[in-house]
Amino acid sequence: MIVDTARIERLLKEAVVTEEGVAEILQRASEGRGLVLEDAAALISIEDPRLRKMLCKTAGEVKEKLFGKRVVLFAPLYLSNYCTNGCLYCGFRSSNRTVSRKALTPEEVVAEARTLVAMGFKRVLLVTGEDPRWDLGYIIDCVQAVYRNTGMRIVHVNAPPMDVPSLKKLKAAGVGVFQVFQETYHRPTYGRVHPSGKKKDYDFRIEVMDRAMEAGFGDVGIGSLLGLYDFRFDSLATLAHSFHLYEKFGAQAHTVSIPRLRPAAHFAMNDVPYPVSDEDFKKIVAVYRLTVPTAGVVVSTRESAGLRNSLIRSGATQLSAASRTSPGGYSKDGTDTLEQFSTNDHRTLVEVMKSIVDEGGLPSLCTTCYRVGRTGREFTEKTKAGEMEKFCQANAILTLKEYLADCPVNGTKESMEKALSKAIGEIKDPAIKKALAEKLKALDAGERDLYF
Ligand code: SAM
Ligand code: SF4
């Protein structure tokens, strides 16, 4: 069994929250070596605002200890919104006649990726619906077209679950992270909200990360769609899923995403069944950070600018920016009849970068680990041992420096350069400091794509 849901229900029922108990758990969590599910059950049950504050503060500290101040930025790129599934919450579901359908050609995908590269992005997440007409071969063509024809440095994929041979081909095409969200780990709810199509099959979906790891993906991304069921249950189940991967393959989930339900075109649900407040959202980010500290915690533009800014200091490590949720969305303006759902943070990349700086963080466009093979088990172990912080900070500096030289800065140059100098001053390791100074000089001389 991948996730023991009966155990999770029991842990939540038995969870006791006391000030002393929480303080003791946070004390252990502050070492950055993770927690067990019993601890996470207690933390996710905190209601007292004072304890929530302590939780978020510790999460921020652990994030900085393991990854430095950096916050990584990426953009999603929607390939196709054709879909044969019936997910009640999604604008792309097959029965939705109000959404226009489009599958980008690989050439159109290249045009979209070039638009993103011109904005400054180096990392893209390809997203697609499920339709046999736009299958694995199509996704691979798009991945390869992006690598061949744009300056995008890493391509991740969020696509329907597949079998091992297909996943092997996807990996061989150079995909970094393979991402699939379970949506909800609560089987009865899963059945209700996925009434038709291949996605009906709960087991085929939950088992996909085992198949991905068997196929050679060291880095996989998981998550649950908040709002479908009790967030306490689904958050713990997501963590249990990551623990399962660690026990079986030695690598925690590389990323844990926190998508929260947004109204989609002709939403086929009466309402969000289990609404999640912003305060609870922050709590989830912090509990993920402390329980599986090596995982990237990804917050998308489904969330508001204000909430995303506050998460920079309480455990989030990755933000998407400037996102469009329709195929071809970056190349067009105005009303969009192709989108999956409407986003909630419409800032440009540079505006998000500036807000990261304002919050005391360091925007990063780094893609190094996937490209040098620091993935899977090795990434989990190095991060746990505290060995990633120096690389993350130095690579954030290099990519920010490159961004400032090549991309639109729209009046933010001064504050970004100040953040850059401060971050350089904070590098402690003498060998890294020296090598970084050389690489920065090389960037000034016109070299690009330098990293540790
Ligand atoms: N079709 C693939 C699948 O379902 O796994 C991948 C792409 S799907 C567009 C990516 C994710 O979007 C889904 O896994 C779901 O969590 C999320 N999503 C769908 N509808 C949403 C909505 N109305 N609000 C927020 N997120 C949504
Ligand atoms: Fe299709 Fe994915 Fe949307 Fe479901 S969530 S309708 S599978 S695109």
The answer to whether the CB of 176 is under 6 A from ligand 1 is no
Does residue 27 lie in a domain region?
A: no
Does residue 58 lie in a domain region?
A: no
The answer to whether the CB of 74 is under 6 A from ligand 1 is no
Q: Are residues 126 and 71 in the same domain?
A: yes
Find the 396 Cα to ligand 1 centroid distance in Å. Answer: 29
Q: Which residue has the least CA distance to atom 5 on ligand 2?
A: 90
Ligand 2 atom, smallest distance to 86 CA? 6
Q: Which residues pair with 82 in a beta bridge?
A: none
The answer to whether the CB of 178 is under 6 A from ligand 1 is no
The per-residue pLDDT of the chain, averaged, comes to 96
Cβ atoms 125, 156 nearer than 8 A: yes
* pLDDT of amino acid 268: 75
Q: Which residue has the least CA distance to atom 6 on ligand 2?
A: 93
Does residue 44 lie in a domain region?
A: no
Q: 334 pLDDT exceeds 60?
A: no
Q: Are residues 202 and 324 in the same domain?
A: yes
Does residue 1 lie in a domain region?
A: no
Q: Are residues 267 and 148 in the same domain?
A: yes
What burial class does residue 11 get, using C-beta atoms within 10 Å of its C-beta: 0-12 exposed, 13-18 middle, 19+ buried? Answer: buried
Closest ligand (CA of 96):
2
Q: Which residue has the least CA distance to atom 4 on ligand 2?
A: 87
346-401 pLDDT, tens digit each = 999 999 999 999 999 999 999 999 999 999 999 999 999 999 999 999 999 999 99
Q: Which residue has the least CA distance to atom 2 on ligand 2?
A: 129
What torsion, rounded to 10 degrees, do the Cα atoms 107, 155, 190, 289 define? Answer: -150
pLDDT band at 218 (very low <50, low <70, confident <90, very high): very high
**Low-confidence winner among 120-129, 267-276, 279-288 (lowest mean pLDDT):** 267-276
The answer to whether the CB of 130 is under 6 A from ligand 1 is yes
Q: Are residues 414 and 360 in the same domain?
A: no
418-431 pLDDT, tens digit each = 999 999 999 999 99
Indicate the residue among 317, 336, 368 that finishes a domain: 368
Q: Are residues 243 and 312 in the same domain?
A: yes
77-107 pLDDT, tens digit each = 999 999 999 999 999 999 999 889 999 999 9
Does residue 344 lie in a domain region?
A: yes
Cα gap 146→166, rounded to integer Å: 19
Domain that holds residue 416: 386-444
The answer to whether the CB of 139 is under 6 A from ligand 1 is no
User: What's the DSSP call for residue 199?
Assistant: G
The two structure tokens encoding residue 307: 């909430």
Cα gap 431→449, rounded to integer Å: 20
Q: Are residues 291 and 411 in the same domain?
A: no
Ligand 2 atom, smallest distance to 84 CA? 1
Q: Which CATH number fits the domain that encloses residue 226?
A: 3.20.20.70
* pLDDT of amino acid 277: 97
* pLDDT of amino acid 187: 98
Q: Are residues 75 and 118 in the same domain?
A: yes
Cα gap 274→296, rounded to integer Å: 25
Cβ atoms 11, 37 nearer than 8 A: yes
Cα gap 82→34, rounded to integer Å: 40
Q: Which residue has the least CA distance to atom 8 on ligand 2?
A: 129
Indicate the residue among 368, 395, 423 that finishes a domain: 368
Q: Are residues 285 and 184 in the same domain?
A: yes
Find the farthest-apart pair of alpha carbons in the chain and give their distance in angstroms, rounded: 61
Does residue 84 lie in a domain region?
A: yes
pTM, two decimals, is 0.97
Does residue 341 lie in a domain region?
A: yes
For ligand 2, residues with CB inside 6 Å are 83, 85, 87, 90, 92-93, 129-130, 199
185-198 pLDDT, tens digit each = 999 999 999 999 99
Residue in 299, 411, 318, 428 with CA at minimum distance from that of residue 363: 318
Q: Are residues 322 and 395 in the same domain?
A: no
The answer to whether the CB of 129 is under 6 A from ligand 1 is yes
Does residue 8 lie in a domain region?
A: no
Nearest-Å Rg of the Cα atoms of the chain is 21
* pLDDT of amino acid 340: 86
Q: Which residue has the least CA distance to atom 14 on ligand 1?
A: 181
First-residue to last-residue Cα distance in the chain? 39
Find the 142 Cα to ligand 1 centroid distance in Å. Answer: 20
Q: Are residues 310 and 161 in the same domain?
A: yes
Q: Are residues 256 and 306 in the same domain?
A: yes
The answer to whether the CB of 89 is under 6 A from ligand 1 is yes
Find the 333 Cα to ligand 1 centroid distance in Å. Answer: 23
Closest ligand (CA of 82):
2
Question: Taking residues 269-277, what's their average pLDDT?
Answer: 91
Q: Are residues 108 and 227 in the same domain?
A: yes
Cβ atoms 28, 39 nearer than 8 A: yes
Report the domain count for the chain: 2
Q: 333 pLDDT exceeds 70?
A: no
* pLDDT of amino acid 267: 75
pLDDT band at 264 (very low <50, low <70, confident <90, very high): confident
* pLDDT of amino acid 270: 77
57-85 pLDDT, tens digit each = 999 999 999 999 999 999 999 999 999 99
